[in-house]
Amino acid sequence: MISARTEVDGERFGTAPELTPVAVTRWGARLVDPQTEWDYLLHRFADDRRRVLFLTALVGVASTVNFIVVYATSAPYFTATLIPGLVGIAMPIFGFCLALRLRSPTMLQLMMLALVVVGTVTRLSMLTLQPATVDMWMTLMVGLIFVIYLYLPIRLAGSVGLAAGFSCIAPFWWSQVMGDALPADVFYRGLVWVALANALGFTAANSLQRSQRMQYAQGLVMRHLLSTDAMTGIANRRRFDSALEREWQRCRRAGAPLSLLMIDVDHFKSYNDYCGHPQGDACLRQLARLLVDTVARPGDIVARYGGEEFVVLMPEINTAGALAVANKLALALRHADIAHPRSPAGPRLTISIGAATAKNLSGNPADLVEFADRLLYAAKAAGRNQISVGQLTPTGGIRAA
């Protein structure tokens, strides 16, 4: 088991300092958490689709060459023997074109399952119409089993089901086609090779898919550690900068506003000097939890910007909404009633907030941060425990709300 947060972009950051367990099942080779398994499949989708495109192209070329060699150089021509060959050429071409349009891992897996079933039936039909190719049966069965397990971009359960079905149908088909012409020792030897191929294929596929998911889970751990503030357990500045860039671009495309609250703890240095740094750290952790619990929308991002400064990024929130959230945070802190023995503003801990909103997002995301910082400075200059609100103009100036 590996510990990691299972958040994805767009979800709420910093909801809890604990890590969510991410485990990979031993025999199913799947991530236990369904959402994390789906995220993993989305993560691998581009590579899996490229692999499908390569496979279908390779099969299409091989089928075309086989069609030319077997049919174009022999006579007479029989429609019954031509049809499987033409289907063997058409199916990979159809799969290639379809894979280019797919955008879902589930649809990609379903397409591969369908193509393998049709392709297998086609190949078995071709061998049925050419009994002289009996020597190819064992190679075909073993080779296709390994392709199913190790190359097709489908989950292990699907691979096992597909390989098991093929392992039952192909030998039976083989025995029916050949009849008495198939030596018993050759048939039983083929069954042994099919069983061995399934055992080796399952073992290798299980190990491969488990290792790929473990590597993905380790990446989640590293991203979590790199994007989480160690002391408070919420998002750090690195994660905030990434989210700001992403939300700025998204809101600009959607024509939606983007608001940012810059929050600073009033007279925190005097709090640290009097209460000590351990108590100061505990105070910041308590404030971080309060901010996260108070900001209600899942899409909003709460992060520690640095020192005793925090930020709240709120996509699709206008100036009035930003002011409402800022007032809500200040009220929640008053209700928390955290003592500040050395505050000139009173006996309780207070915060100053700069609430900035950008409606015209034609500039740079850094402009919104700089604007919020200027509003925060104005709130502190007005005596602290204040909220300063404004809207960023296209020229980077301030327009009072």
DSSP per-residue codes, 206-229:
HHHHHHHHHHHHHHHHHHHHHHB-
- The mean of the pLDDT values for the chain is 85
- pTM, two decimals, is 0.66
In the prediction, which pLDDT does 305 show? Answer: 93
Confidence of residue 18 (pLDDT cuts 50, 70, 90): very low
Please classify residue 116 by burial: count the beta carbons closer than 10 Å to its beta carbon, then call 0-12 exposed, 13-18 middle and 19+ buried.
buried
Q: Beta partners for 311?
A: 262, 303
- What is d(CA 172, CA 360) in angstroms, rounded to the nearest whole number? 69
Match 């998204």 to its residue by tokens: 250
Q: Are strands 387-392 and 398-400 parallel, antiparallel or unpaired?
A: antiparallel
| Helix/strand/coil for 202 | helix
Q: What is the mean pLDDT of residues 325-329?
A: 95
Q: What is the mean pLDDT of residues 317-345?
A: 91
> Which of 76-80, 136-140, 261-265 has the least mean pLDDT?
76-80
Q: What is the mean pLDDT of residues 99-114?
A: 90
pLDDT > 90? residue 225: no
Domains and CATH numbers, the chain: 2-225 (no CATH), 237-400 (3.30.70.270)
In the prediction, which pLDDT does 11 show? Answer: 42
pLDDT > 70? residue 281: yes
- Cα 83 off chain centre by: 42
Nearest CA to 129 out of 59, 165, 79, 169 is that of 79
- What is d(CA 114, CA 109) in angstroms, rounded to the nearest whole number? 9
Counting Cα atoms < 13 Å in the Cβ hemisphere of 169 gives 15
Residue 76: enclosing H or E segment and its boundaries? none
In the prediction, which pLDDT does 87 show? Answer: 78
DSSP state of 181: G
Confidence of residue 8 (pLDDT cuts 50, 70, 90): very low
- Maximum mean pLDDT: which of 344-348, 355-359, 395-399: 355-359
Share of the chain above pLDDT 70, in %: 87
Nearest CA to 242 out of 256, 226, 254 is that of 226
- What is d(CA 329, CA 321) in angstroms, rounded to the nearest whole number? 12
Tokens of 17: 């300092």
Confidence of residue 33 (pLDDT cuts 50, 70, 90): confident
- What is d(CA 175, CA 138) in angstroms, rounded to the nearest whole number? 12
Residue 315: enclosing H or E segment and its boundaries? strand 309-315
- Maximum mean pLDDT: which of 15-24, 64-73, 150-159, 337-346: 150-159
Question: Considering Cα of 382, then 384, then 390, then 393, what sign does the dihedral take?
Answer: positive
Q: Beta partners for 392?
A: 358, 398
The dihedrals phi and psi of 221, each to the nearest 5 degrees, come to -60, -45
Note the pLDDT tens digit of each residue in 173-204: 888 877 777 788 888 888 999 999 999 999 99
Tokens of 132: 């002289």
